[in-house]
Amino acid sequence: MMTLQQARHLVALLTTQGVRFEAGLTESEFAQLAHQFGAVFPPDLHLFLQVALPVSPKFAPWRQALTSTAVADELQRMLSWPLEGLLFDARNNGFWCPEWGAPPADAGKEQLIRQHYPRYPTLLPIYSHRYLPALPAVAGNPVFSVYQADVIHYGNDLASYFAHEFRFTLPSTFENPQQPQNRIEFWDSLVE
């Protein structure tokens, strides 16, 4: 579990790498994001975004999406990116997940994927095409890099992801797991 001190330390480390921050999200804003976008944050991401909100380019525009229709549309595109990528690869690259059964004729693939998709943990955008799963609702979920059906672990937890993405070394006060602590339904099967 990330501590308040660790979250503040991450913000400081990211600031040295050029990431800009605003005041963190309020509980009211978290509630609005859950209502408007279905975005429910696991505890480590919740704490991090409560301490400070990254606002540099490519970061998810959580606060701005609450006050601007154009930015809300942008955030919705970020939230839809994983599904749209799976649909693209199913249409164009022969992607099919065995747990969906035998692939139907092309016309039925998209419908079947859309039918299964809501059962999987929502991926919350962090930065660019990097996502943290909302479930399980515990600290320590891995961060995925998602580009169509090409999915890899890009961090074994939120802190190790930031260290990897922004090229800094985590201090010894962080756990820095060597592999993901939590298995994520469906998404981990795409990594394997």
Structure confidence by residue, pLDDT tens digits, 77-92: 999 999 999 999 999 9
Residue 33: which of 41, 45, 44 has the closest Cα?
41
Q: In whole angstroms, what is the distance from residue 180 CA to residue 166 CA?
A: 19
Ranges of beta strands (E only) in the chain are 21-23, 52-54, 123-127, 130-133, 143-147, 150-155
Q: How many CB atoms lie within 10 A of CB 92?
A: 9
Band of residue 192 on the pLDDT scale cut at 50, 70, 90? confident
Band of residue 168 on the pLDDT scale cut at 50, 70, 90? very high
CB 177 within 8 A of CB 137: no
Structure confidence by residue, pLDDT tens digits, 22-48: 999 999 999 999 999 999 999 999 999
Q: For residue 38, is it left (φ>0), alpha (ψ between -120 and 50) or beta?
A: left
As beta bridge partners, residue 150 has 147
Q: What is the DSSP letter of 133?
A: E
Helix (H, G, I), strand (E, B) or coil at 125: strand
DSSP states of 47-70: HHHHHEEE-STTB--TTGGGT-HH
pTM of the shown model: 0.96
Question: What does the domain layout of the chain look like in residue ranges?
Answer: 4-191
The whole-number average pLDDT for the span 165-186 is: 93
Q: For residue 20, which phi and psi values (nearest 5 degrees)?
A: -95, 145
